[in-house]
Amino acid sequence: MASKYLPAALRSSRRIVSQISRPQWRSFSATSQVRSETLAVHRNKPDNNPSIPFKFNEQNLALIDEILQRYPPQYKKAAVLPLLDLGQRQHGYCSISVMNEVARILEMPPMRVYEVATFYTMFNREPVGKFFVQVCTTTPCQLGGCGSDKIVEAINNYLGITPGHTTEDGLFTYIEVECLGACVNAPMMQINDDYYEDLTPESAVALLKALRESAQAAETGKTVKVPAPGPLSGRRSCENSAGLTNLKEPPTWDPEVFMRKDGQL
């Protein structure tokens, strides 16, 4: 008799079990959040608040006139990037007063200018040192040459600071950045507007020393030779560092045979 009712009992018990509510969640993973207040949050400080006046100088006003002529008058806000760049070059960084002045000139809501300046990492929202050092630590620079880890370590030791900080003498601000587009000359770093490539720990430190000496010598009117931008390895550009491996001889074929004789391409 019991066996007659067993299948029905199993069915109903399965139904009851399926109706018991179960927690509706599933696990997921995410990389750790990097919180950076300097990128997106403005807090008034004695040296960076809206009551500090900022005006473009005569030279930059002339440049702004020229830049604005590239856009129809109703779209002049398209010039927000070059104007922020000019403001940063004149003032040293993109202070709130620089952004407000750009907004006034371009007749934009200031918030729209803040959005642009905080989106693009090349705009510094805080003061930086005389030499703004950006060391690329993306994969090709990590793997190329001696590797960017060694460059970072050498700079940490020489400057006595870690990325994201400024030296006490105000000469160097130093950060790590993503690919700067010179991977073929890895590892590399950008200092102000210049690229220095094919770095070794020794050449990187020698470069920083020369920059420091040049800044100190400038106060006394002297000059110090600083390595020229580009590869510091002796390469002229991004040619094979082992030298020419092909096309070493002039062509052996007779141009008269292979080229058209009517002068046309």
Q: Which residues bind ligand FES (CB under 6 A)?
A: 136, 138, 140-141, 179-183, 186, 188
Main-chain dihedrals φ then ψ at residue 135, nearest 5 degrees: -95, 125
Q: Smallest distance from the beta carbon of 151 to ligand FES, in angstroms?
A: 11
Closer by beta carbon to ligand FES, 96 or else 136: 136
Name residue, tokens 């700079």.
Answer: 155
Buried residues in 67-85 as b, exposed as e (16+ CB within 10 A)? bbeeeeeeebbebbebbbb
Closer by beta carbon to ligand FES, 103 or else 183: 183
Closer by beta carbon to ligand FES, 7 or else 181: 181
SS3 call for 18: helix
Task: Give the Cα-Cα-Cα angle 235, 240, 243 (nearest 5 degrees).
Answer: 85
What's the distance, CA 83 to chain centroid? 19
Closer by beta carbon to ligand FES, 97 or else 185: 185
Q: Smallest distance from the beta carbon of 179 to ligand FES, in angstroms?
A: 3
Q: Smallest distance from the beta carbon of 212 to ligand FES, in angstroms?
A: 24
Q: Smallest distance from the beta carbon of 136 to ligand FES, in angstroms?
A: 3
State how far the Cα of 121 lies from the Cα of 128, in Å rounded to an integer.
13
